[in-house]
Structure 1
Amino acid sequence: MSYKLPQSNLYLREEEIRRGIELLYFAYRDFTKDPDDMLAERGFGRAHHRVLYFIGRNPGTPVTGLLTILRITKQSLSRVLGQLVEEGYVRQETGTRDRRQRLLYLTDAGAKLEQQLFEKQRARVAQAYKAAGPDSVAGFWDVLLNIIDPEERERVLREIGR
């Protein structure tokens, strides 16, 4: 099933904007459901998932780099990261150039968990992309990019483009 709009500016009316926001909420709910269940079994939540995901995508990132990506406080990250380190999913290494730096890596257990979480979401997104078609996917990416704060877009594009 798909939702098609006329080729006019109808999509700019409040009701259509609300419909889009609601679709984002419902899509996010279902996108996160399977990973949430898997994480809950370990006493983890969505913050743990984001940390695992971005360390997996950026091995060796310093804590400050992760704070920039996630845009959260040091205190929030400290609690989540501490738990992941303590339970053996993330390891920290001292920076070679700056001994104050803590570089973050997934352990084998962390990489395995991150892959399992990713597979659940990959299957859902791949199916949605296939059903919607390439033009819709490109449009969807454009919408998502334009939801991101303008001053962050270039950094995000660099981040996802590597």
Structure 2
Amino acid sequence: MTDLKSLANPLFLREDELRQGIELLFYAYRDFTRGPDELLERYGFGRAHHRALHFIGGNPGITVAELLGILRITKQSLSRVLSALVEGGFVRQQQGTRDRRQRQLYLTDEGKTLERQISAVQQAKVAQAYREAGAEAVAGYRKVLAGLIDEPERPTVLRAIQRR
């Protein structure tokens, strides 16, 4: 495997270097999601449930439409996910305060507990990687991840993340 120090070299844009970066991303994602997948499996939930719990937990009162915009899944898929989370007692829906047609989403106490358990696993993994990489590498990593977000959405996403 290529020494990570070689990434400072302008040749890092070669096809083989790009392929290695993509593969690292796949492997990292696999291992980053393993712990949460195991926790969610106990409830018969998957990664879509995880993402919903994450964004509802970080944005109490988020509307279904807003969640759809973040997750970029079909209404039908989100409906299945939310139905399971509501029926399981992890999420509650409330009629919108300004627009009664809206459904606002909140984690229940049980949902908050599950979301905290999942987050703790991932935070520990990220914290360890940050410690091993050092501050300069973390800053570069964040720039790379931000660069992977579609440009028209990047400012909105970065503002949303920074506000939390």
Query: What's the TM-score once normalised by structure 1's chain length?
Result: 0.97
Aligned to 1:141: 142
What secondary structure, in the 3-state scheme, does the structure 2 residue paired with 1:103 have? Answer: strand
How many Å separate the matches in 2 of 1:124 and 1:97?
40
How many Å separate the matches in 1 of 2:79 and 2:121?
27
Structure 2: give runs of 5+ residues left out of the alignment: none
Aligned to 1:128: 129
What secondary structure, in the 3-state scheme, does the structure 2 residue paired with 1:149 have? Answer: coil
Aligned to 1:32: 33
Q: Percent identity?
A: 61
How many Å separate the matches in 2 of 1:37 and 1:13?
37
Aligned to 1:69: 70
How many Å separate the matches in 2 of 1:156 and 1:131?
27
User: Equivalent residues in 2 for 1:90-101 (5 A)?
Assistant: 90-101=91-102
What secondary structure, in the 3-state scheme, does the structure 2 residue paired with 1:150 have? Answer: coil
Structure 1: give runs of 5+ residues left out of the alignment: none
Aligned to 1:157: 158
The superposition leaves residues 127-151 of structure 1 with CA deviations (integer Å, 9 ceiling, x where unpaired) of: 0001100000000000000011111
Q: How many residues align?
A: 161
CA shift at 1:6, angstroms?
5.5
4+ residue stretches of structure 1 with deviation over 2 A?
A: none
What secondary structure, in the 3-state scheme, does the structure 2 residue paired with 1:96 have? Answer: coil
Query: What's the TM-score once normalised by structure 2's chain length?
Result: 0.96
Aligned to 1:53: 54
- Amino acid of the residue matched to residue 48 of structure 2? A
How many Å separate the matches in 2 of 1:109 and 1:3?
42
Asked if residue 3 in structure 1 is aligned to residue 4 in structure 2, the reply is: yes
How many Å separate the matches in 1 of 2:127 and 2:8?
27
